[in-house]
């Protein structure tokens, strides 16, 4: 499709422009920090319209549009001259206030009536004069100490005092801050010194009271601690006492059990020792009986050998000597055995030693009784030289002997032999009888 040139008539363009201009001039928007005041055509119907942060339509050429700022205005408030307090102390006040046109449409209309087309400095100056006048009035109603110590109350009173007057001008005091108080006579400084002294005094009193309270608390705590410590020590002592009693009871029971066990052990040990001693004595007796039996058999054997070899004097002498040596050895063995038994059984074996010694004597007696005639003769022959010596020893002390009869030598020998025979008979030995028993009959006859 071919493109054709479109020609817009100039009248249409003008019409569109007029419509745009008309719409722009009739449609209005207000920012949040400004208030639009529309007055004129509808004035007779009421107060001017106020638009804040919104939009509206006005009738061109018939309604008027005015603006008024709603921004904060900072006002420095310094008294131009000294102001006397209720105590007639002259002071100067330094404060800062923030004021603005109230956002209420009614207040905006009032502000427009008073400050339309006026700048912020003018509004601030007017507000400063109003606030300062009310501040002077309130200072005259308060004491200096109240002003200094209660600045917030003073500011609230000033703000409340100017509220109505500021509202009539369409303004409001957002906040008021008291920065400083100054006096010409250094009264505030003196009050500070006095307050410092009082504060120090109060601090000293508070410190003393605190130290007193601390001392009391420490004393109470120490008393409670001491009581608790004493109670704990008493409890510990009681527990230790109970523990000592229980330990003593346990010790008594343990000692009793140990004593019973020791007694039972000693009884058992004594019984075993006695049993061992009895068995040892019985074994020793059995051993000795066995030895005696063996010795008896040996004696019997030697007797038979001696009987078989009785004709041989040398063998008889040897046999007799062996018999004597054995008898002596036996006696020594018996004595040594008795001594050993006496040493080992010194405490409990006296009775056993006596029995053993008695038994040894019996055995010795039996052994002596069992010696044959040859042994007795041998023993006699062994002791005969001593007997003869003892019989003839008195004659050695005589200087000379005169004898009559068969001759001196024959008589002397006869007397000595008579003495020997009497001694032998005195001890129960029959020498001729022993010789007759030992010597064979033929030899006896030949000897005679």
pLDDT at 1 over 50: no
pLDDT at 279: 78
pLDDT at 24: 65
CA-CA distance, 73 to 115, in Å (whole number)? 13
pTM (2 d.p.): 0.40
pLDDT at 129: 92
CA-CA distance, 96 to 179, in Å (whole number)? 7
pLDDT at 44: 44
pLDDT at 183 over 70: yes
Q: What's the residue count for the chain?
A: 448
pLDDT at 444: 45
| Number of alpha helices (DSSP H) and beta strands (DSSP E) in the chain | 12, 9
Query: How many CA atoms within 13 Å lie on the side-chain side of 90?
Result: 6
Instruction: Provide the mean pLDDT of the chain.
Output: 76
pLDDT at 421 over 70: no
- Nearest residue to 93 (alpha-carbon basis) of 78, 113, 105, 112: 78
Q: Are 58 and 34 in contact (CB under 8 A)?
A: no
User: Which H or E run includes 66?
Assistant: strand 63-69
Structure tokens at 97: 């206030």
Higher local confidence (pLDDT), 252 or 346: 252
pLDDT tens digit string along 67-80?
888 899 999 988 88
Which of 6-20, 163-177, 238-252, 337-351 shows the lowest per-residue confidence on average (mean pLDDT)?
Answer: 337-351
pLDDT at 208 over 90: no
Which of 33-42, 181-190, 241-250, 381-390 shows the lowest per-residue confidence on average (mean pLDDT)?
Answer: 381-390
CA-CA distance, 255 to 250, in Å (whole number)? 8
In degrees and rounded to multiples of 5, residue 61 shows phi and psi of 70, -10
pLDDT tens digit string along 146-155?
888 888 898 8
pLDDT tens digit string along 98-142?
999 988 888 888 888 889 888 989 999 999 999 998 999 998 888
CA-CA distance, 85 to 145, in Å (whole number)? 10
Please state the separation of Cα 302 from the chain's center in Å.
Answer: 90
pLDDT tens digit string along 269-288?
777 777 787 777 777 788 88
Give me the domains of the chain, ranges plus CATH numbers.
10-69 (no CATH), 73-185 (3.30.479.30), 217-371 (no CATH), 383-448 (no CATH)
Higher local confidence (pLDDT), 319 or 353: 319
As a whole number, mean pLDDT of residues 247-253 equals: 83
- Nearest residue to 323 (alpha-carbon basis) of 361, 278, 371: 371
pLDDT tens digit string along 346-388?
656 566 666 766 677 677 666 655 555 556 666 666 666 766 6
pLDDT at 212 over 50: yes
């Amino acid at each position: 499709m071919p493109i054709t040139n479109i020609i817009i008539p100039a009248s249409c363009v003008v019409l569109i422009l007029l419509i745009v201009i008309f719409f722009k001039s009739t449609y209005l928007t207000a920012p949040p920090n400004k208030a639009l005041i529309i007055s004129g055509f509808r004035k007779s119907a009421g107060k001017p319209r106020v638009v804040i942060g919104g939009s509206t339509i006005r009738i061109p050429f018939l309604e008027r549009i005015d603006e008024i700022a709603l921004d904060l205005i900072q006002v420095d408030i310094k008294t131009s001259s000294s102001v006397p307090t209720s105590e007639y102390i002259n002071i100067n006040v330094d404060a800062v206030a923030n004021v603005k046109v109230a956002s209420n449409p009614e207040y905006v209309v009032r502000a427009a009536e008073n400050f339309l087309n006026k700048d912020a400095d003018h509004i601030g100056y007017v507000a400063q004069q109003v606030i300062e006048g009310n501040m002077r009035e309130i200072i005259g109603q308060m004491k200096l100490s109240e002003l200094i110590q209660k600045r917030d109350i003073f500011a609230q009173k000033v703000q409340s005092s100017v509220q109505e007057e500021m509202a009539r001008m369409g303004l409001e005091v957002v906040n008021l801050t008291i920065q400083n108080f100054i006096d010409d006579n250094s009264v505030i400084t003196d009050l500070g010194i006095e307050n410092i002294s009082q504060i120090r005094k109060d601090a000293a009193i508070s410190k003393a009271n605190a130290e007193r309270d601390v001392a009391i608390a420490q004393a109470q705590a120490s008393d409670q601690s001491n009581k608790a410590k004493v109670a704990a020590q008493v409890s510990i002592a009681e527990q230790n006492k109970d523990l000592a009693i229980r330990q003593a009871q346990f010790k008594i029971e343990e000692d009793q059990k140990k004593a019973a066990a020791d007694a039972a052990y000693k009884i058992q040990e004594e019984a075993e020792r006695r049993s061992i001693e009895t068995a040892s004595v019985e074994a020793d007796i059995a051993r000795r009986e066995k030895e005696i039996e063996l010795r008896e058999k040996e004696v019997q054997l030697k007797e038979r050998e001696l009987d078989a070899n009785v004709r041989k004097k040398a063998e008889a002498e040897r046999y007799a000597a062996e018999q004597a040596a054995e008898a002596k050895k036996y006696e020594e063995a018996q004595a040594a055995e008795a001594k050993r038994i006496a040493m080992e059984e010194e405490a409990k074996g006296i009775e056993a030693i006596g029995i053993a010694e008695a038994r040894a004597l019996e055995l010795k007696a039996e052994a002596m009784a069992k010696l044959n005639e040859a042994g007795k003769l041998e023993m006699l022959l062994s002791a005969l030289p001593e007997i003869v010596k003892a019989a003839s020893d008195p004659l050695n002390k005589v200087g000379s002997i005169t004898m009559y009869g068969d001759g001196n030598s024959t008589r002397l020998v006869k007397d000595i032999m008579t003495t020997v025979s009497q001694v032998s008979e005195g001890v129960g030995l029959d020498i001729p009888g022993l010789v007759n028993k030992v010597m064979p009959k033929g030899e006896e006859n030949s000897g005679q």
